[in-house]
Amino acid sequence: MHPIRLGLVGYGKIAQDQHVPAIRANPQFELVAVATLGPHCPGVDNFSSLADLLAHGPQVDAIAFCTPPQGRFALVQQALDAGKHVLVEKPPCSTLGEAMSLIDEVKQAGVSGLFAWHSRFAPGVANAKAWLKGRTLTQVRVEWKEQVRKWHPGQAWIWQAGGLGVFDPGINALSIVTDLLPGSLFVTSAALSVPDNCQSPIAANLSIRSQAQVEVLAEFDFDHSDNELWRIELHSEEGMMRLDSGGAQVSIDGVPQGVSEEGEYPAMYRHFAQLIADKQSDLDLQPLRIVADSFFVGSKETVAAFHE
């Protein structure tokens, strides 16, 4: 069986650090072309635009999108119009309407699509799913705090309208929580801290409830120290499981547990290959919907200007 010929749109930090290594380590894929306005990806043909790649590049079966969410909708539409399978980095679009439209367009195109909530593929998430079976969950506590200057240096788009600010990393935590808790989650309150010179929040505190009335409390901070805190605690009547380092580490009642050695992005691309083989799609919108609801119901406090 021939590998899936893959094109990549956008070659920034996340593509260089995560996507390309995962693609090249997976024999189910062959990276054949990259569309980028920045540095070129070595070892493949590089093009200045997706349109140029599709018109003049090598044949591709699928395209992965690593551009900022603003403007991504039209690019994914180009790929779907060309009949390509699509993998779309999180958040898939800058609005719910665009993302909802892509779900319909993927189906109409008869291709496979993946909204790439990569944190769902953290090794400890599978442990958590297994642990929750037969247990009565009472509360979920989330602390997701990192330093934007370290993880998004020079990326002004993240502070613009549609850039999500602290919800860019915070949505990773929400993608895990929505994967673990069945049914819909509802934002009951949100407090958003927005720098005086930005359009998007630098911190947020959320209160969420599940259909089963489980309380989810989340604290997000984008101006934390260099020591990241990516933690989710699952409190049940039978004990407590904690996911640390974004789900890479797991403990139950303080006792460390073993997890898979496969990383998030390799597992995500393995999932994408299986979706293509099965002619299926995975286009969940609940993490983005929770962020949208947080903006909708949230109180906003103006805080000191952000300077890199």
* DSSP tag of 49: S
CB distance 135 to 194 below 8 Å: no
| Tokens 């260089």 sit on residue | 16
Strand, helix or coil for residue 42: coil
Other beta carbons within 10 angstroms of residue 25's beta carbon come to 12
By CB atoms closer than 10 A (0-12, 13-18, 19+), residue 287 is buried
Catalytic residues: 90
CB distance 68 to 40 below 8 Å: no
- Whether a cis peptide bond, with omega within 30° of 0, leads into 39 is no
By CB atoms closer than 10 A (0-12, 13-18, 19+), residue 108 is exposed
